[in-house]
Each structure stands twice: as structure tokens, then as C-alpha cells.
């Protein structure tokens, strides 16, 4: 097999047993890898209604057919499970170097079953897999663990947040690269699995080296020629968005009560670049190199989403405080969007403007699950509900919304509402067409024409998450180039339409999983605030009838019935077998 | 006789290197486009830009109106 290794390892923690199983060519053509591979395993193996923290849940780590080649931005892997934050199926992917190393060891993925009796870590050296005692590693955060294990290979691990069951705990790798959002770090913790460390020496075989070189050059040229990847992201990182998004009146401020922040310049990419000497810390095989840190202190430069949540949404205007909150989250291993949004919810609910010190203390208490941090570690939906103030939680399906106020980008509003993993911008990044005009500019303040566009972009992004390559490259590189290089690597013929169909197949399976978990069209909605309040921009509250009409149209485009259930014909067309 | 238009121009990120000030007030002839305005700011006409006029994304050929606010960013993206 070319590109893929054609096998995964099943690791049974309860029985301390490992089984290596082959993956068929047909399966890989239908699901590729990454998100697609993991979603299929979780759909097939996780029974409806189980507690995500129970030993019956599984956790998948999966790379894709391009992972470990030199293909630009391909150094990624995905993690997939049932989320303790949302109760939905949940995938989350990360850069760094863990994914390629997993491929070098000879695997396309790992599926973790059961629960270890005592803390363990998994050590992989080529195809030798051992389950090892990790009692000495418990109660430690991710930087320390990564340092301690990095002599053995590339490390993916959890911090105290994952051990203690913070519902938005992350899995971290290579120090600051993170599988974020839905709490898969807490699933790992519930299995008493502290870390996975992998080392491999295998080379990924490529079917047609000459064609590969040509397509590699095509993609590299596009990335270098595009000012998005070579200049915008490379020079300022994602923090460059703060001023733009603020000017467009879609910067979440004060838990989405307002859509502009008076101190945006203070927390902007421009401010960061003029304050700190910056060093780039690129992922494996990535020429964009958007990730950055302060040169001497190695303090991570926060991403835009982190700045918007700990900054404007909590109304904190000191960039150093935001950087400290970011560092704490990375070290404890927890999601900055949900942590920031949950604290913004806490702040509104209690009618308090937090000081910088209070904010940092809350982040720490969440990571430790101590005092009020215990309640907040449940995420904003559960926290607000416990205080009879559900309307103050800014989430969809339990996942806190990221840094774009949907009232000013209505395609994104529909994207948030229909996302299979809850409030997320990365299922269909409608900021591309609605703000940047990429690939084509559309009017941001209308639902008209959005439902078709949202579902196509969702399908494309799902395919990209299955390859797995970076979505930032999509601003410069189209699906045709990805299909070309995938064909050269694997020796199988892929065209753009195949990628979109794979994306659609995986999206529909995710929908089926969620329907079995009792999610329905009622959950495809937005926080009531966005329908009732205008965020201090006159007339900008979302009109519910327009939203619902757009949602129905979206279902029609998807080939689903008016309740949002995939029809038999659609499932047959996508070669999906219904279960149960 | 063409009357002059007054427009506000705000520069961001790497576009700031073209001017000593981040916020400019510029007078231009009626019927001028963004492209015409660029020559008055020192920003090269072929510089890739994300142009926002009064909160809407626009192109370089867009004609300017009295009182417009233009925000000029490098081509950026992210999330």
C-alpha cells in the first residue's frame, strides 16, 4: 500500500492487550483517514447513550494518507471520540509532529478501548507497542510530561485538566499543539491514559515520485504566491484578525452582549508584533508557519480565538494577561475558547468585571477543579443551567462559540447552528467568503444563498480533516491540487468530486451518530441572545423566521427530510449502512 | 468643477509601514476609486490588500463617497 500503512493498532487498556488489524483498500478509499477514519470507528463501536467517561467510550488517534510525506501542511492527525462536553461525536485535529511519527511507526491510527486500572502511558517504537506504568507521571502538567517523555519519541499527553475530568480538557502534543475543544483530553484521563509516546523509522512509500514532485511544487508555489499564507498568517499569525473583526462589529465582547471592544488595539496582532521579539514554531512540513512564540521566554503567542475569548469577551485589555491565561490552559491541557467563554459567562452571571488577577486565578482553579473552578470545569452550558440562567451560556450543542459574533456573518450563523460538534467556526469557515472574499465575496448580512454554500464548505472541510491537511492552506490551494497529490501518493485516482463525496459521507455519519444520541433539529439553533438582542448594532438581531427558512433549505440541500434526518436515498447514495 | 471628497483611511498590520500615521484623512476628487486613493497614501497600487469600506469588503475599483471610512489590511485569513 502507498501513502497509507494499511493498519491500525487496537489498544485494550482494561485487558492490557494490543491487536494490530489491517485496513482494507475499500475502507480507506471511502474514509481516507484522520476524521473520516475515526468517525467510522466511533459510529460502529460506541453504543448510543453511554457516558463519555465510561470505559465503553473509545478514543481514536488517526493520521491520513498524506501524513508523514513532505506534502505541505500534511503533518496533522485527528482524535475522535464521544465528547463529554457536547455528547456528540467529536473530532479534533492538531499539527505538531506526533501524526507523522505515528505513520513512521507503521500505523494509520490507534483505537483505545477500556480503562486502565492505574495510570499508564503507551509507548510505541515502530510496531512494538507497550503499555507502561505512569503513576510517576500523574498529577503533572503537559510541559513537564512532554519534557520527561520526549527522549522516547513524540509525545501526546494530557495535563491535570484531563486527569481531573475538566469537560473541555485537551490532548496536547509537542508542547503547544493541541487537539482542542470537546474535552477528548478528559476522555483520555477517564481511561487513566496519561500519554502516548511514539517513535518510528519507516519512510512513507509514494506510488509515483515524479508526479508527486510536480504536485508538491504546484502546492508549494501556490502557498508562496498567496499573500494569505506567505504574508498575512506568516507575519502576524491569526492575532492579525483582532482589529479587522472588531471593525466589522463582530468581535465578541462582554459575553456577546456587545460586538465591539474599545481596547481591541491593545490586544491586537499589531500590538503583539510591536511588543515582543517573535520566533516562529512551524508544524511538520509547513511553509506557512503561523504558530509563534516570544523568542527568549518561549511564551506562546495566543491565537485569535484565545484573544477574543480571554480578551474582549472577558473585557480584559492586557495582552500579557491573555498570554498567561493561554499558557495556563496549554499547560493544564484545556481549551482556551471554552475556558474563556465559560469565565465570560461567570462574569456576566455574577455581574462582576474581573480583574486580570481574578481571571488568571479562575483559569487555574478550573485546571485544578477546585472551589468555583469545579463548577466552571463543566463548561458554560452546565454552569449557567445550574444557576437557572441558561440564556447566558453562548454555546451550540454544548460547545462554546468562538470569536465571531454570528449576528454580523449570517452564513457563519447557519454554520454554527448546523455543526455536528456544536458551536464551531472550523466546520465551515464562512468568514472566508463573508469577510475576506475568499474564494468569492458574498453579502455577510443575508441568509440568501448561504445554505448551499455552507454545506459544500462543510463537506470540503470534512475531507480536508480526513486527509489530514491544514485548513489555512485552503485559502491558497484548491481541492483539485489535493486530489492530484493524493492520487500521486496512493496510486489511486481521486478527483475533486471524490473528496467532496467523502466529506459528505463522513458528515452524514456524524449526523446519524448525533440523532441516535437524541439530538434533533431543535438543537440546530443559536443562543436566544442573538435573536433577541442586537449586540448594540441597530437592527442586527437575527430574524428567527429567516434563520429557520435557511435551516430548512440547508436540510433540502443535504438531502435530509424537514426534521433534519438523512433520507434512505441519501444514505444509499453515499454507501452508508444504517445501524440498529 | 469636481468637488473634493473627504475620506478617512485606517491602516492595519503590515500596511502601516507605508505611512507615518495609522489614521489618515484624505481629500480626493469626486469619482475617485480606491486605486486612485492609494497613490495619495504611498501604498503601491499592486500591494495585495483587503479593503473594507464602511464595514463591507470591497475591491480596488470601488468608487469612493464623501465621508467613507476605508480600512486597509494585508490579505489575511485565519481562525
What is the distance in angstroms between the Cα of B31 and the nearest Cα belonging to chain A? 24
In A517-543, which residue ranges form alpha helices assigned H by DSSP?
529-532
Which of A227, A248, A270 comes nearest B75 by C-beta?
A227
Mark the ranges of chain A whose per-residue pLDDT is less than 50: none
Q: Which of A58, A166, A180 is nearest to A426 (CA)?
A: A180
Q: Which of A199, A206, A30, A212 is nearest to A106 (CA)?
A: A199
In this complex, do A438 and B13 lie within 8 Å of one another by their Cβ atoms? no
With an 8 Å Cβ cutoff, is A305 touching chain B? yes
CA dihedral A560, A562, A568, A570 (to 10 degrees): -20
Q: Considering CB atoms only, which of A241, A270, A437 is closest to B78?
A: A241
- Report the candidate in A93, A92, A91, A101 with the shortest Cα–Cα distance to residue A123: A101
Nearest CA in chain B to A439: B77
A7-199 sits in which CATH class?
alpha beta
Please judge whether B73 and A240 are an interchain contact, meaning their C-beta atoms are less than 8 angstroms apart. Answer: yes
Is B75 in Cβ contact with A436 (below 8 Å)?
A: yes
C-alpha distances (whole Å) from A425 to each of A442, A557, B51 are 17, 20, 23
Name chain A contacts of B77, Cβ cutoff 8 Å. 228, 232-233, 431-432, 436, 438, 472, 475
The Cα–Cα gap between A484 and A495 comes to 7
Distance CA A309, CA A403 (A): 7
pLDDT, one tens digit per residue, over A109-153 is 999 999 999 999 999 999 999 999 999 999 999 999 999 999 999
Q: A187 at the B interface (CB within 8 A)?
A: no
Contact A170, A154 (CB under 8 A): no
Residue B79 pLDDT: 61
Per domain, the residue ranges of chain A are 7-199
Q: With an 8 Å Cβ cutoff, are B77 and A472 in contact?
A: yes
- Give the strand pairing for A7-12 and A109-113: parallel
Residues of B within 8 A of A226 (CB-CB) are 75
User: Under an 8 A CB cutoff, do A432 and B77 touch?
Assistant: yes
Torsion over CA: A520, A502, A433, A286 (sign)? positive
What is residue A578's predicted lDDT score, i.e. its pLDDT?
75
Q: Residue A183 in 3-state DSSP?
A: coil
Provide the 8-state DSSP code for A437: -
Cα A158 to Cα A23, A51, A197, A337: the distances in Å are 28, 20, 12, 17
Residue A303 distance to chain B (closest CA, Å): 8
pLDDT of residue B78: 67
For position A225, what pLDDT does the model report?
86
Does B75 sit within 8 Å of A432, measured CB to CB?
A: no
In the structure grid, which three cell numbers stand for residue A569, read together? 436515498
Diameter of chain A measured on Cα atoms: 63
pLDDT value of residue A230 = 72
Contact state of A228 with B79 under an 8 Å Cβ cutoff:
no
Question: What ipTM was reported for this prediction?
Answer: 0.94
Closest residue to A248, CB basis, from B10, B55, B74: B55
Q: Identify the DSSP state of A537.
A: S
Residue A52: what pLDDT?
Answer: 98
- Which residues from chain A sit within 8 angstroms of residue B50, using beta carbons? 244, 436-437
In A, residues 272-291, which contact B (CB 8 Å cutoff)? 290
**pTM for this entry:** 0.97
Whether A435 has its CB under 8 Å from any CB of chain B: the answer is yes
Please give the helix or strand (H or E) that residue B8 lies within, else none: strand B4-11
pLDDT for the residue A276: 96
Q: What is the mean pLDDT of residues B60-76?
A: 94
Q: Is the CB of B52 less than 8 angstroms away from the CB of A248?
A: yes
A439 interface with B at CB cutoff 8 Å:
no
Q: Is there a contact between B76 and A237 if contact means CB atoms under 8 Å apart?
A: no
Helices and strands (DSSP H and E) totals, chain B: 1, 5
Q: Is the pLDDT of residue B1 over 60?
A: no
Nearest to B76 among A244, A305, A471 (CB): A244
Using a CB-CB cut-off of 8 Å, the residues of chain A touching B76 are 228, 232-233, 236, 240-241, 244, 436
Q: What are the residue ranges of helices labelled H in A192-318?
A: 209-225, 227, 233-236, 241-247, 269-275, 304-306
Amino acid at each position: 500500500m502507498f501513502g497509507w500503512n494499511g493498519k491500525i493498532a487496537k489498544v485494550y487498556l482494561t485487558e492490557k492487550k494490543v491487536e494490530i488489524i489491517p485496513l482494507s483498500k475499500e475502507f480507506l478509499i471511502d474514509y481516507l483517514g484522520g476524521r473520516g477514519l475515526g468517525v467510522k470507528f466511533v459510529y460502529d463501536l460506541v453504543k448510543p447513550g453511554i457516558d463519555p467517561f465510561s470505559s465503553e467510550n473509545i478514543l481514536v488517534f488517526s493520521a491520513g494518507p498524506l501524513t508523514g510525506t513532505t506534502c505541505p501542511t500534511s503533518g496533522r492527525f485527528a482524535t475522535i471520540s464521544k465528547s463529554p462536553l457536547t455528547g456528540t461525536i467529536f473530532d479534533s485535529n492538531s499539527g505538531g509532529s506526533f501524526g507523522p511519527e505515528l505513520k513512521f511507526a507503521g500505523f494509520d491510527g490507534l483505537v483505545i478501548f477500556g480503562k486502565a486500572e492505574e495510570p499508564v502511558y503507551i509507548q510505541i517504537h515502530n510496531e512494538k507497542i507497550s503499555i507502561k506504568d505512569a503513576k510517576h507521571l500523574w498529577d503533572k502538567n503537559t510541559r513537564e510530561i512532554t519534557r520527561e517523555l520526549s527522549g522516547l519519541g513524540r509525545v501526546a499527553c494530557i495535563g491535570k485538566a484531563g486527569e481531573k475530568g475538566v469537560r473541555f480538557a485537551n490532548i496536547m502534543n509537542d508542547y503547544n499543539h493541541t487537539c482542542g475543544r470537546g474535552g477528548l483530553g478528559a476522555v483520555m484521563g477517564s481511561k487513566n491514559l496519561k500519554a502516548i509516546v511514539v517513535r518510528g523509522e519507516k519512510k512513507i512509500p509514494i506510488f509515483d515520485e515524479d508526479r508527486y514532485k510536480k504536485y508538491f511544487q504546484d502546492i508549494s508555489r501556490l502557498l508562496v504566491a498567496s499573500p494569505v499564507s506567505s504574508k498575512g498568517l506568516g507575519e502576524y499569525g491569526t492575532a492579525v484578525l483582532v482589529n479587522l473583526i472588531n471593525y466589522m462589529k463582530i468581535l465578541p465582547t462582554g459575553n456577546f452582549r456587545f460586538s465591539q471592544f474599545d481596547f481591541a488595539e491593545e490586544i491586537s496582532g499589531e500590538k503583539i508584533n510591536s511588543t515582543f521579539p517573535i520566533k516562529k514554531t512551524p508544524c511538520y512540513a509547513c511553509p506557512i508557519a503561523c504558530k509563534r512564540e516570544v523568542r527568549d521566554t518561549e511564551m506562546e503567542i495566543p491565537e485569535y480565538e484565545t484573544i477574543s475569548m480571554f480578551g474582549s469577551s472577558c473585557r480584559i485589555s492586557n495582552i500579557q494577561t491573555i498570554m498567561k491565561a493561554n499558557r495556563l490552559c496549554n499547560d493544564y491541557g484545556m481549551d482556551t475558547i471554552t475556558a474563556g467563554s465559560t469565565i465570560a459567562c461567570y462574569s456576566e452571571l455574577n455581574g462582576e468585571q474581573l480583574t486580570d488577577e481574578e481571571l488568571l486565578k479562575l483559569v487555574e482553579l478550573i485546571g485544578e477543579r477546585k472551589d468555583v473552578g469545579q463548577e466552571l470545569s463543566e463548561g458554560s452550558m452546565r454552569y449557567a443551567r445550574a444557576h437557572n440562567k441558561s440564556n447566558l451560556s453562548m454555546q451550540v450543542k454544548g460547545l462554546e462559540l468562538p470569536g465571531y459574533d454570528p449576528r454580523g456573518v449570517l452564513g457563519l450563523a447557519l454554520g454554527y447552528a448546523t455543526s455536528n460538534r456544536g458551536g464551531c467556526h472550523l466546520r465551515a469557515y464562512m468568514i472566508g467568503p463573508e469577510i475576506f472574499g475568499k474564494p468569492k465575496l458574498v453579502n455577510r448580512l443575508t441568509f440568501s444563498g448561504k445554505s448551499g454554500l455552507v454545506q459544500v464548505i462543510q463537506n470540503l472541510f470534512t475531507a480536508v480533516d480526513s486527509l489530514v491537511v491544514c485548513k489555512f492552506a485552503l485559502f491558497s490551494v484548491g481541492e483539485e491540487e489535493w486530489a492530484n497529490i493524493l492520487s500521486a501518493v496512493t496510486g489511486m485516482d481521486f478527483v475533486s468530486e471524490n473528496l467532496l463525496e467523502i466529506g459528505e459521507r463522513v458528515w452524514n455519519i456524524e449526523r446519524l451518530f448525533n440523532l441516535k444520541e437524541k439530538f434533533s433539529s431543535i438543537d440546530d439553533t443559536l443562543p436566544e441572545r442573538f435573536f433577541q438582542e442586537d449586540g448594540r448594532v441597530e437592527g442586527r438581531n437575527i430574524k428567527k423566521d429567516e434563520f429557520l427558512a435557511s435551516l430548512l433549505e440547508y436540510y433540502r440541500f443535504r438531502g435530509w427530510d424537514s426534521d433534519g434526518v438523512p433520507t434512505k436515498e441519501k444514505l444509499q447514495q453515499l454507501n452508508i449502512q444504517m445501524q440498529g | 468643477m469636481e468637488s473634493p471628497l473627504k475620506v478617512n483611511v485606517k491602516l492595519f498590520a503590515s500596511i502601516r509601514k507605508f505611512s507615518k500615521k495609522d489614521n489618515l484623512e484624505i481629500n480626493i476628487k469626486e469619482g475617485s476609486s480606491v486605486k486612485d486613493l492609494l497613490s495619495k497614501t504611498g501604498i503601491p497600487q499592486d500591494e495585495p490588500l483587503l479593503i473594507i469600506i464602511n464595514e463591507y469588503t470591497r475591491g480596488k475599483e470601488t468608487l469612493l463617497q464623501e465621508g467613507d471610512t476605508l480600512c486597509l489590511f494585508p490579505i489575511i485569513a485565519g481562525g
